[in-house]
Structures are given as structure tokens and as C-alpha cells.
Amino acid sequence: MNLAAWLLWILPLISSPLVVLISKIGRRAVELFACIVSFIAFVLSLMAAVTYIFPSIEKITNWLPIMDLFLEIKIDGVSVLLSMFISFLSFLITLYSVGYISHEEAYTRYYSLILLFIGSMLGLVMAGNLVQLYFFWELVGICSAFLIAYYNYRETARRAGFKAFLVTRIGDAAFLFAILLTYAITGTTSLDAAISSLQNISRVNEIVGIISLLFLIGAMAKSAQVPLHVWLPDAMEGPTPVSALIHAATMVNAGVYLLVRITPVISELPSLLVLTQIVGLASLLLGALCSLVSTDIKRVLAYSTISQIGLMFYSIGLGFWHGAIFHLISQGIFKALGFLAAGSILTVVGTGNIDELSGLRKYMKYTYLSFLFAVITMSGFPPFIGFWSKDAILYTTIEKNVGLALIIGLSSLLTTLYGFRLIFRVFYGDAKISRPQNDAPAIMLIPMTVLVFLTFVSWPLLLTQRFVDFSFSLHIDLTTLSLTLIVLLSGLGLTFFIINKYKTIFDKLVSESNFLIKIRAFLMAGFGFDIIYSRTINKIMPSITKLIRRTQTGMLNINMIYVLVTVIIIIIIFIGGAA
Amino acid sequence: MYEQMILYTTSIALIFLGLASLSYSRNLIKTMMSFQVLVFGINLALFTNSINGGLDFLASTLVLFSVIIGASVESVGLALIIQIYKKYGTLDPYRLRRLRH
Amino acid sequence: MPVEITLLLCLLLIITSTLSLIFKTTSLSLIMLFYSSVALNIIFTIYGATTIALIHLIVFAGAISVILLTTVVITGEANLTIGEPKRYIFIIIIVSLLASVLGIQLSEIIEPAIELVPTGELLGFVWTYRPWDLLILIIILAASMVTVLNLLSRTRE
């Protein structure tokens, strides 16, 4: 029995309630405990990776013998690789949050929720059957909702947390329905068995199409894809380490992980592949366009997350799930780095609004360098890892369909635009606000440095190749390389000119043209999804609730009539069944 | 075999009597009495499962449980009825408005 | 245990319960309830379950009757009515249900049931039943509909 693989997720889950006990000792003890536990989880994942030879599913206790349900974990390349990545990022971000929330008094709640989240995310990745995956999926959603609403004295934070929970709930319902259908058809929920039998049935039975669609909806809600993406930009109300961990690097990748597990089934259904590609491309473009106009650093990064995960969905839709996993890892690294840098700006300066920030380059050198590296990697400049992952996907696209490659090129251009827009607005120019005396505290800078280091070494790529059998050799096709470089450099140049040199001209142009103002308003409202949803719900719900309220009379006699009628119906059915 | 059939029939009849009267009653004490008739029917139904050959102990234990729970529910219900009468002066469920909306 | 004794006792049980729910005066109602619990107890004793019989008697005919009597005394001797003009519907329901269940059970003894091919639909038994059973089922449905309609019309209070 692979003890490391079991303890890896059990340990943070167990230690989450222990934080409450340890908080009686003091604040330092809690912080030390949280960092130690996440470090031990990381070490355990390394041990599981080192001893990994062949894929296996391990079972222990008989959970529900009737349903053939065991407590099992699946140890194969994807889960080992992802668990290493997640535990490493969690450890770094726990270190970071020691510095970030050093001013808050509700640290117990924070650390216990973070540990619960780490344990459940690792449990999700290592889950061996669908029911266990669903269990941890829900748990991750709950932790995310609570952590978004961490500043519970702010009403916007509470509402954002509730909104996140509500929207992901739609996906959860679809996911649950898909699991029930799978169990009804195949009689098992164990990952290997269920998926292979679904794959075999898929030619014969149309219900597999419905099951895969429901899985896709679940993944869409959790990973914030169009049209269920509305929770992610508002989820930036939470503390920045929460945004970095949950909404950039780990939880939003749960949907991608689910789709990777379901890939054998989806690849038999071409219509579903096309649907995944459409969803991915739509999110890609929507995220990129909306982050061009956002005025809050974290909101820009949130929309950027939506866009990058759209790229991952698109890659899965192409059938190239190895590229999706690799892009998952590289996106996690640079997005977490971006969020950590934004967090240090928030800590030192106090505001994240771009309009109020400028000229921070001289005063916050480390943050500036980290953010610069994050944006460069995000845009995809070679030789950083962002380039390799995007290039892999681009290469596969060109092999299949050149038109879509243009869309990806356009999105790369937009990525460069909004990334460097942030850099030029926030870090260049003359300092308007009170000059910060010093940079962020050291404990916040260390994880950022580690992540910066990771953006240009080849360790992520080598690990992915070893575990996921990612046989994309790093050949550099000169055409794609040159095209990419042209796109990137032109984006950089465009940004430089618009923001820096000809700023006043462009500002005047934008403020005078009515059309551009309307486009800007449209983009800032997130393509109007929020407004459509709230108006629809506000129209439908009151009439439904009034209808249902009328059945709840307080009178015993009416309720007993319901019981009487039900008993009569049951007897009729029973007598009929005995015939 | 005939006996079982007769007993089952009476138990169904008692259950329906109790349920119908429970839906109709304009008086809370009548409600409690119809609940008791309902419990009679259920106990009889539970009991008739065990009369073939020797006595089946599972059914007897279940009847015991049912008797005890029925007794507790009735006592609590009657205590509440006394309190309701003290507060409202009437035993008509349609007149007890304060908790309804 | 001869069948006739069981039949007699069951009839007694049903008659006393019905009477207890129909009477308007409280004391008669209570006495009838007491008798019905005694009848049930005798049924228990006949079939040899003395333990249950004893406990049943002690609880229902002993404790609960006393509690009911106490409650009735405390709250004053109120008239127990079931709703004046609707009493006959009450009896129709009971009789129809009894007739249906009894009829179905008896008919299976007199004419053994033909092997009916299960069709697998939810209401498939409607089409595979014999006409007598179908009639009884329709009576049940009609009675329940009449009940529901009557009761719902009374809630305009």
C-alpha cells in the first residue's frame, strides 16, 4: 500500500480542525503548523512520485458494499504530477499568507480553511472513483466560497462568496446527475472501470453523449468558462493568497482535470469535442477582451485566468490533453506569481485600482521584477515556459485547422496587450500617490522569487514529460516561432505606444468617440452576462415562490389530506405491482 | 392464511379510518383519538406478519417499539392540547391563527 | 384458531373504531376507543403473543385512556363533530376501500389469478386486470377525488 499517496491528502484534512486547538497556543504556532503541514504534504507527494512506476488503483475499506463503492485512490501519471504541483504551490502560498494576513485577527478560520482546501484538492486529484471525486469537488467549492467571503464584514465579499457557490452549484448538479447516469448504465463508479465501459458503450448508446455533456457542464462551472464564468471576477473579493491558490492555480483546474479523466469517452463523440473547443475559444476571447478594460489588477488577472483555461479546454477539445496538462502547470506558475505580486502591491500600497497607481518601479523593485516575469511568461515570450505550452497547443492547432490558429494568435496579441498595459500603467510613469517606503516583507517575497525561478527553468517541462508521457519534443518550428515573435513584439510595441508615448492622444480619442465608449462599457460589464442572469432570475423566481407558498398551509387537515392521497396512490401501485 | 388476509384487511381499514378522520376532524382531541386508531391499525399490520407457525420475535419487537412511540407521541400531543386550550380557549384548529402565517 | 373468531373480533374492532370517531359526545367516544383497544388486545392474545398484548393493554387501555379522559375533563366537555353534512362521504371511502381490498384478496382465492404477462409500464396493470378489479379501482379513485374536492372547498375560511 502506497502510504505516501494516502497520507498526502488525509493529513491536511485531519490537521484542518486541529488548527483550532493549536490556536490556543498562539498565532506563531498556527502559522508554523500550517506551513509544516503543507510542506509535509509536498514531501509526501514527492515520495509518491519517486516510487511511481506504473498506474494503479488502490482500495481500502468497503464504503458502500451495495453500490460497489470503495475508498480508493488512483495513482497514475496525471494525478502524481498534479499532486506534486498543487502541494508545492500550496506550500508556497501558505508561506506567503503568513505575511499577507498578519494584520487580521481571524487567522484561525483562514488557516483551517486553507488546510481543508489543500487536503480536499489533493483528494480530488488522487480520487479513484467518481463519487469520491464528487465529494472532494463539493468540499473544494465550499472552501472556496468561505474563503472568498473571508472578509465577512464587507457585504460585497459575502455576496461574491454566495455567488461563487451558487454558480458552481449548477455545475455540481449536472456532475451529480452524470455520476448517477454512469452508475445506472455501467453499474460501477470506479474511474477505470466506469470510463472504459462508457467508452465501449458509446457507439451503441446515445446516453453517453448526455453523460459527457453533463460532465462538461460541471467542468465548465468549476473552471469558470463561458457562460458560467460570472463568479470568478467577483471572487477577487477574497484575500490575494486565496485568489492565487484557489482561483488561479488549483481549484479552477479541477474542471480541466475532470475533462482529462473523461477524455477517453469524449474522444469518441466528435460533437462534444467541437462543443468543448467552442467553449474554450469563447472563454479565451471573452477573458482577453474583458481584461483589456478592467481597472482592478486582480480583476484583470481573473479574466486572464478565464482566458487561459479556455485555451486548456480548447486543447482538450482538440484531443491533445497532454498539452492541456502542461499548460495547466505553466499557467498555474505564472498566474500564481502574478497574483502574489498583486498581493504585495495591495499590502504595501493599499489599493489595487490601476487608476490610482503609477510609478511603483522605483520603490518596489522585487515586486516589479516578479510581475514583469509573470507577464512575460503569460504572453508567451520564448524561452519561458509559457511559450512552450502555448507553442505546443498552437502547433497541434496548425496541424488540424489553420483558421483557429489565427484566433489563438489574436488571443496572444490581446494577452500581451493587457499584460503590458498593467506593467506600463502600474509600474512606469511618475509616482502620484504616497511613495511606499519599502517593498513587501521578506516572507512574501520568497515564494515570489521561487516562482520567478520556475518560470524559466525546464523542470516543469521535464516532469511533465516524465509523468504524462508528453512526447511533444521541443522542436522549434521556425515559422511558428517567428510568427509568435512577430505577434508578441507587435503587441509589446502597441502597448508601449498607446500607454506610454502617445497616451494623451489615445485617451482623447477614446473619450470622444461614442462607439468606443459603448464598447468599453459593454466590455466592462463582462459582455452583459451578469445583467442577463440577474434580470432573468428576478423575473422568474417571485412567481414560482408564490405558487409553492400556497401549498404550505399551516393546517393539519390539509397536510393529512396529502398523506391520505399518497397512501391511496401507493396502495394502487402496490396492488398493481403484485399482479 | 385466511386469518392473515382478514387481519391485513382490518389493519388497512383501520389505517384509512384513522387517516380520513385525521384529515377531517374539527377538534384536536378527535385528532388524537384518530391518531390512536391509526396506531392500532399499524400495530395489527406489524403483528400479522408473525403469526405463521411460531411467533416471530422481530415482529413482536417492532410492535413493542411502535406501542411505545405511539404512547409518547400521544402524551406529548395531549400536553400541547392542554396548553393550547389554556392560551386560546378553543380547540378548533381553524381558529388557531397565530402560528399559521 | 378458527377463522370465525378472528373475523368476529376484527369486525368488532372496526365497528368500535368507527363508532368512536363518529360520535359527537366525548364520553361515548372514549368508551368506544377503550373497547377497540380491548378487542385488539384479545386478537393479540389469541395468537399467543402475550407479552405484546399485555404491554398494549397497559399502555393504550390503561395509560392513554386515562390521559385522554383527564384532557377532556380539563378542557371542558366539548362536542366532537366531524363536519355535519359530510359524514356519508367518510363512510363511502371506508366501505369502498374495504370492499376493494377484500374483494381482491378473496377473488384470488376463488378464481386463481391467471398468469399475467408483466408489461413493464407503470400503469400497465390497468389493462391487464379483470373487469371486477378495474371497477373497484375506479371506485377508490372516485372516492379519493370526492374527498379531496370536498376538503379543499372547505378551506375558504
Asked if A554 is an interface residue toward chain C (Cβ–Cβ < 8 A), one would say: no
Cα gap C97→A551, rounded to integer Å:
27
N-terminal to C-terminal alpha carbon distance within chain A: 52
Cα gap C113→C42, rounded to integer Å:
34
Window C:102-121, CB contacts with B under 8 Å? 102, 105-106
Grid cell 387501555 is found at C61
Nearest-by-CA chain C residue for A557: C151
Cα A238 from chain centroid (whole Å): 15
Q: What cell does A200 get?
A: 465501449
Q: Do B7 and C37 touch (CB under 8 A)?
A: no
Per-residue pLDDT in tens (0 to 9) along chain A, 579 residues = 678 888 888 899 999 989 988 888 888 889 999 999 999 999 998 888 888 777 777 666 666 666 667 788 888 888 888 889 999 999 999 999 998 888 888 888 899 999 999 999 999 998 888 888 999 999 999 999 999 999 888 899 999 999 999 999 999 999 999 999 888 888 777 887 777 777 777 666 678 888 889 999 999 999 888 888 889 888 888 899 998 887 777 788 888 999 998 888 888 888 888 999 999 999 999 999 988 888 888 999 999 999 999 999 999 998 888 888 888 888 888 899 999 999 888 888 878 788 777 777 778 888 888 899 999 888 888 778 888 888 888 888 887 777 788 888 888 888 888 888 888 888 887 766 666 667 778 888 888 888 888 888 777 777 777 777 656 555 566 777 777 788 888 888 887 877 777 777 777 777 777 777 788 888 777 788 888 888 888 889 998 898 888 888 777 777 888 888 787 777 777 666 655
Enumerate residues 6+ apart whose C-beta is below 8 A from A579.
Answer: C113, C116, C125, C128, C129
**Å from A568 to nearest chain B CA?**
9
Q: Which domains does chain B have, with CATH numbers?
A: 2-100 (1.10.287.3510)
Q: What cell does A273 get?
A: 469535442
Q: What cell does A86 get?
A: 498543487
Grid cell 492565487 is found at A244
Nearest to A579 by CA among C118, B6, C98, C127: C118
Interface test with chain C among B2, B3, B10, by most C beta carbons within 10 Å: B10
Asked if A576 is an interface residue toward chain C (Cβ–Cβ < 8 A), one would say: yes
Asked if C90 is an interface residue toward chain A (Cβ–Cβ < 8 A), one would say: no
Cα gap A360→A368, rounded to integer Å:
8
Q: Do B20 and A564 touch (CB under 8 A)?
A: yes
- A355-364 burial, b if ≥16 CB within 10 A, otherwise e? eebbbbbebb
Q: What cell does A33 get?
A: 503548523
How would residue B1 be classed by pLDDT, with cut points 50, 70 and 90?
Answer: low
**Å from B47 to nearest chain C CA?**
8
Cα gap A87→A46, rounded to integer Å:
9
The 10 Å Cβ neighbour count of residue A564 is: 23
What pLDDT is stored for residue B38 in this prediction?
Answer: 92
Per-residue pLDDT in tens (0 to 9) along chain C, 157 residues = 577 888 888 889 988 988 888 787 888 888 899 999 999 999 998 888 888 899 999 999 889 999 898 888 888 766 655 444 455 566 666 666 666 666 666 556 545 444 444 445 555 554 555 555 656 666 666 666 666 666 555 544 3
This complex has an ipTM of: 0.87
Fold of C1-80: Four Helix Bundle (Hemerythrin (Met), subunit A) (1.20.120)
DSSP A290-338: HHHH--BHHHHHHHHHHHHHHHHHHHHHHT-HHHHHHHHHHHHHHHHHH
Collect all residues of chain B within an 8 Å Cβ-Cβ radius of residue C92.
Answer: none
Contact A269, A189 (CB under 8 A): no
Enter the pTM of the model. Answer: 0.75
**The dihedral sign for the CA sequence A143, A146, A151, A154:** positive
Collect all residues of chain B within an 8 Å Cβ-Cβ radius of residue C74.
Answer: 82, 85
Enumerate residues 6+ apart whose C-beta is below 8 A from A45.
Answer: A4, A8, A80, A83, A84, A87, A88, A122
What pLDDT is stored for residue A5 in this prediction?
Answer: 83
N-terminal to C-terminal alpha carbon distance within chain C: 52
Cα gap A126→A71, rounded to integer Å:
11
DSSP C99-156: HHHHHHHHHHHHSPPP-PPP--STTTHHHHS-HHHHHHHHHHHHHHHHHHHHHHHTT-
Domain boundaries, chain C: 1-80, 120-157
Inter-axis angle of helices A107-126 and A254-266, nearest 10:
10
